[in-house]
Structure 1
């Protein structure tokens, strides 16, 4: 039997803001109503997840929690009073999010002993990032990349810089289309690329969505169709088999950092994994099935478990330079820096035309291919070369973790000419 509080108007459930938090996290009232409509509102109380009874939506009977009974009574009172108020609304009012949140504001904020709610945008944003940092560190939670957390931090820092420079007095009620265009102009004047600007807008919208769900924000102008993420197609290269061969054979023994980055990169290439999975791979991940050694990965981004046969060249790298072990982990920014130098030494020098928008101006330039190599190039190179080698797409996807063929074909970098040659080798054209 459901423990949620139900009525003809909707359903109330109490949830934790972060079920995997190591410390206290907010108790949130979650109200579902109508068709696919829901609002969330912070109750002002916090609890450690280990002391929360999810089934009964109450704090457990723990002797060390002195105010447990008061909190549980308040939660029951909030939901009861709210449903009483909702029952007095018209059918149209029952679907009005602003009215419903106003009722919750009145009922919950009247309590004298609840914690002060976060009202300023920057207070909420800092709290949001802190929560995300805890999720990234918590091994039992859904994995959140430290790079993603850093991206949120960068966005909030850019907003703080903007607020200080422009003296905009930025808060929730000030985030509208006027702000949107002024903020984009500010970033363009500071020579940010269009994709970087788009990243900051996307992160801002994510923070605002969470603030709206938690009841901290009631200004929804950011949902206007013009308040959109901007982007342009970025240059994503792959290394051919000949270029991988050159990278594998180049002597980097006099530059150990470059050598380490190259070896980590090649492990990424021969496993087809993301840098968050292949950088720092452990010997314990080697498993044996039917006499064949494979790597076991639980992909950080998706949580998928995949198994990848160990390529002979990975064995060579392990035996020749690491005494049978795997190379140590290297900071991702260092991999990106050093792998470019390794590519230069390997003479990966094809000229690539690059087109991008920086500071609102379109810029075109020709650069050497090695300058575009980054850690993610390893995975893209694996997928593309495996496809060109006629490995079945379904097998490549089983290794890479792509969910759909459409997603996979969009990801790989195959020219129309290369695809035509591959098709020509099929039985139909023989």
Structure 2
């Protein structure tokens, strides 16, 4: 098999879809022609990267791969038939991507008189999400969390909202810088944060990369350097212990939704878990080891199993407010909305300076602290307060599930003054 097949119109190469994959990944036919034109088409074969000879573009001689010779022979056949078919086209057809894709469809898929299946962007995006959902449920070696799938869904829903409101008729061929600026402005007007906007752009580019790999997208304007996922360091607050006390003690009995959100938030604070793990805690997760009550968590994001000692305040909260059981589950968006109201009633109202982006302009504004409280604030508050209370970092990480100290220290929110006070209590400064 030759390394590169040259024709009068372009160059055919074979490469792997994901060179860093731990398991098998697709072998892709990559055809470059003209100045910037390119087609990628899946051959239908997969191989583990360690068994792929990149220089010769073939599967290595590995005894465990019984169909190696057939695959290598087919790859040779695909390229030679494709370049031969291109030379037989009329001059104006050699740059027509639909015709070239139809040739590949016929040669590789074996479909006579085949025309490549055309899908709209939204049809492809919905199928992409469905595929990822099935992967997360059915394929053990694909660790795609439900949270990630939900993030993709949110992005596609925001794109559908944009398309409906602006009557943009969004499709692959219209995704360019003009679209990028219009979509970003649309999200800004909906008061989405810079990092949320960046997340949606990042997810969109992931979907477009997949569509390109699968042969449905041939528009590469999304790869422009200005078509980028913007981000900035977000203002991530934590609640101090006195603020947690105020939230715990405030009377919210007149509004049961706020009260429930507050109690769920406190479960998050006293366990140090993510909302996907602490919201909907059930009695079966409460265990007893050597006379000590603990709560068992199987973290949805990481798959880690860990145990958290039952805090006395959680026991009291379950007993007094929920008949001895954990509070029932509440929709995560509702928690974020109601916990702000609970914080307002608890007078957690110190002013915080935040950056707000409007019409691509950044300005500093003062907002009350309670307006920044979210479900994730519970976990960050636990980690920070436990650190300030001199709990060993390794023990905090055993509860929170952080993998490295570097990751942990980036996560907690303490001021330089608080850090200095903690450091001053070490034996070095005592002697």
- Normalising by the residue count of structure 1, what TM-score does the alignment of the two structures yield? 0.73
Q: Equivalent residue of 1:302, what SS?
A: coil
Q: Deviations over 1:94-122 (max 9, x none)?
A: xxxx9x98975342344259997453222
Q: Which runs of 5+ in 2 are unaligned?
A: 5-12, 18-23, 31-39, 45-68, 84-96
After superposition, residues 33-72 of structure 1 pair within 5 angstroms as: 41=42
Verify the 8 A CA contact 1:253 1:259 in the aligned structure 2.
yes
Q: Deviations over 1:27-65 (max 9, x none)?
A: x9811799xxxx77385xxxxxxxxxxxxxxxxxxxxxx
Residues in 2 aligned to 1:216 and 1:131: alpha-carbon distance in whole angstroms: 16
Report the CA distance shift for 1:421/1:209 in structure 2 as closer, same or farther (over 3 A): same
Aligned residue in 1 for 2:352: 352
Q: Which runs of 5+ in 1 are unaligned?
A: 1-5, 15-27, 44-75, 91-97
Q: Equivalent residue of 1:417, what SS?
A: helix
Shift of 1:83: 3.7
Residues in 1 aligned to 2:106 and 2:116: alpha-carbon distance in whole angstroms: 14
Shift of 1:382: 0.2
Q: State whether structure 2 residue 388 is matched by structure 1 residue 395.
A: no
Residues in 2 aligned to 1:323 and 1:165: alpha-carbon distance in whole angstroms: 47
Verify the 8 A CA contact 2:272 2:378 in the aligned structure 1.
yes
Q: May I ask how many residue pairs the two structures share in their alignment?
A: 370
Q: Equivalent residue of 2:306, what SS?
A: strand
Residues in 2 aligned to 1:368 and 1:253: alpha-carbon distance in whole angstroms: 23
Q: State whether structure 2 residue 413 is matched by structure 1 residue 413.
A: yes
Shift of 1:290: 2.6
Q: Equivalent residue of 1:295, what SS?
A: strand
Report the CA distance shift for 1:418/1:7 in structure 2 as closer, same or farther (over 3 A): farther
Shift of 1:230: 0.7
Shift of 1:372: 1.5
Aligned residue in 1 for 2:26: 30
Aligned residue in 1 for 2:202: 202
Residues in 2 aligned to 1:245 and 1:180: alpha-carbon distance in whole angstroms: 45
Verify the 8 A CA contact 1:280 1:327 in the aligned structure 2.
yes
Verify the 8 A CA contact 2:82 2:103 in the aligned structure 1.
no
Q: Equivalent residue of 1:301, what SS?
A: coil
Verify the 8 A CA contact 1:272 1:382 in the aligned structure 2.
yes
Residues in 2 aligned to 1:158 and 1:257: alpha-carbon distance in whole angstroms: 27
Q: Equivalent residue of 1:107, what SS?
A: helix
The RMSD of aligned alpha carbons is 3.9
Residues in 2 aligned to 1:259 and 1:168: alpha-carbon distance in whole angstroms: 43
After superposition, residues 81-160 of structure 1 pair within 5 angstroms as: 81-86=74-79, 104-111=104-111, 117-134=117-134, 142=143, 144-145=145-146, 148-160=148-160
RCO higher in 1 or 2 (8 Å CA, sep ≥ 6)?
1
